[in-house]
Amino acid sequence: MNASKTIYFVYINEDYLYDNNYRQDEFNHDIFNEMLELELFLKAKYVNIDYNILYFNFIKHDIPANSNIINIVLNTTTIYNENDGSACEYLRAYCGQILSRLFHTETSLVALLQFNLYV
């Protein structure tokens, strides 16, 4: 954690696609507050840490000026009532493509789907 390189933490709210609780404003506000608490912990425990929190969510949050949280706002017109049949694999692939472009790496849908089988 005290390495001289930037560390990236990634949060993806895929549950939004199929769980009504994750679509509620209050619930999303609580999750965002947990991200702010994580950031306070990181700053207190690792004083010289160079980090960013990539926060993929379907809701835009007001990020404090001194925060290293980057809110990547996703949009969808389709939601589901259960995980089975939802588009989580496509969301993971989409987020993977965003991350590969950010970090100038390559990823493939096959690799992401295989990873999903083992998580």
DSSP string spanning the chain?
---SS-EEEEEE-GGGGT-GGGGSHHHHHHHHHHHHHHHHHHHHH-TT--EEEEEEESS-----TT--EEEEE---S---SSSTT-SHHHHHHHHHHHHHHHHT----HHHHHHHHHH-
pTM: 0.78
Q: Is residue 45 part of a domain?
A: yes
Q: Is residue 21 part of a domain?
A: yes
Q: Is residue 105 part of a domain?
A: yes
Domain enclosing residue 16, as ranges: 7-118
The tally of domains found in the chain comes to 1
Q: Is residue 81 part of a domain?
A: yes
Bigger pLDDT: 13 vs 119: 13
pLDDT, mean of residues 4-14:
88
Q: Is residue 1 part of a domain?
A: no
pLDDT tens digits, residue range 71-115? 999 888 777 777 776 677 788 888 888 888 888 777 655 555 444
